[in-house]
Amino acid sequence: MKARNQNRAATSAPAEPALHPWRRLVALGDSFTEGIGDPDPRSEGGLRGWADRVAEELSVNQPDFSYANLAIRGLLLQQIFDRQLEPALELKPDLVTLSAGGNDMVFRRSDPDRLAEKIDVGVEQLARSGATVVLFAGPDWGATPVFSQIRGKVAIFNENLHTVAARHDAVMVDLWFLRELSHPGMWDPDRLHFSPLGHHTIAMAVLRALGVPHTLVPLEPKPSLPRGWREARAEDLVWAREYLFPWVVRQLKHPSEEELTAKRPEPGPVFGRGTPPAAYLSGGHAA
């Protein structure tokens, strides 16, 4: 009840100072962390996403807070570690988010136990740096026409991630039990990525897991109209033709790394909650 009252008050009063110990956030991962499905021309790379939204809240009344996002769409787990782990450590973050392994299970049918073993090694390195590490248990794709086939693997992977998080004192954001994500409005039309509302909901879950007060208010999507069997199957065929098959082809082509770059490779001030700092407008740079 207290949290609900705080959210209501935030709509009519200035945000209270964010009470947290972190000053530098670095996000690692793939399209989920890059923000695919949440377009915003004002954000770097034209995407906002849950990570940007979290950074915006963490930066409230924290002028020295900075944020980097190293995520690149389409990368597999080992590619994420090979390309992002060392650069992330060099930025000396005190808060790191890591989401990886989804592409391995969806497009490579990888073994969830072996994936967890790899993640354990990477998380150990991140935790050893002294940073707080945030991990994500994957969402329940059981209701989707294709990914229901790997639902069991995702569940096993999630259980392994809970073990990894406990071993390294990491913060776990469990999307599997975030029932709001089962609503169609939470997903992009491609059914692979989250919509702006989905990213917003995940940002709230991250802040809640970190125990940080925030100004985000839950958004309730309009109830979807009931569909008949024929309409549902027709939509599935359109989705497969326009989204699923092209995505699979792109994954199989192994796009060259030169074509892909991180959306926010250097830590910098977080905008989106008001006028950018004068130092930035005058050409200054925040560490």
pLDDT at 14: 46
The answer to whether position 188 is within a domain reads yes
Could you tell me which residues come within 8 angstroms of residue 1 by beta carbon, excluding any fewer than 6 positions away? none
Least confident stretch, 2-11, 140-149, 241-250: 2-11
Does 180 have pLDDT greater than 50? yes
Place of tokens 């150990």: 124
3-state secondary structure (DSSP) of residue 241: helix
Q: What sign for the dihedral angle of Cα 184, 186, 188, 194?
A: negative
pLDDT tens profile 106-119? 888 899 999 999 99
Overall domain count for the chain: 1
Place of tokens 């930035």: 280
Could you tell me which residues come within 8 angstroms of residue 264 by beta carbon, excluding any fewer than 6 positions away? 44, 45, 67, 68, 69, 70
pLDDT tens profile 115-167? 999 999 999 999 999 999 999 999 987 766 567 788 999 999 999 999 999 99
The answer to whether position 23 is within a domain reads yes
pLDDT tens profile 8-41? 334 434 456 567 999 999 999 999 999 999 998 8
> Using CA atoms, how far apart are residues 244 and 148, in angstroms rounded to an integer?
14
Does 188 have pLDDT greater than 70? yes
> Using CA atoms, how far apart are residues 208 and 269, in angstroms rounded to an integer?
22
- HSE at residue 161, side-chain half, CA atoms within 13 A, is 26
> Using CA atoms, how far apart are residues 232 and 240, in angstroms rounded to an integer?
12
Query: Which range has the top average pLDDT, 2-16, 194-208, 236-250?
Result: 194-208
Q: Give the CATH number, domain containing residue 210.
A: 3.40.50.1110
Q: Span 210-216, mean pLDDT?
A: 92
Pairing between strand 95-98 and 264-268? unpaired
The answer to whether position 287 is within a domain reads no
Domain with 176, as residue range(s), is 2-281
Could you tell me which residues come within 8 angstroms of residue 69 by beta carbon, excluding any fewer than 6 positions away? 26, 27, 33, 34, 35, 44, 51, 52, 262, 263, 264
The answer to whether position 286 is within a domain reads no
Pairing between strand 66-69 and 264-268? antiparallel
Q: Would you give the DSSP letter of residue 132? A: E
Task: Work out the angle between the directed axes of helices 112-128 and 151-167 (0-180°, nearest 10).
Answer: 30
The answer to whether position 139 is within a domain reads yes
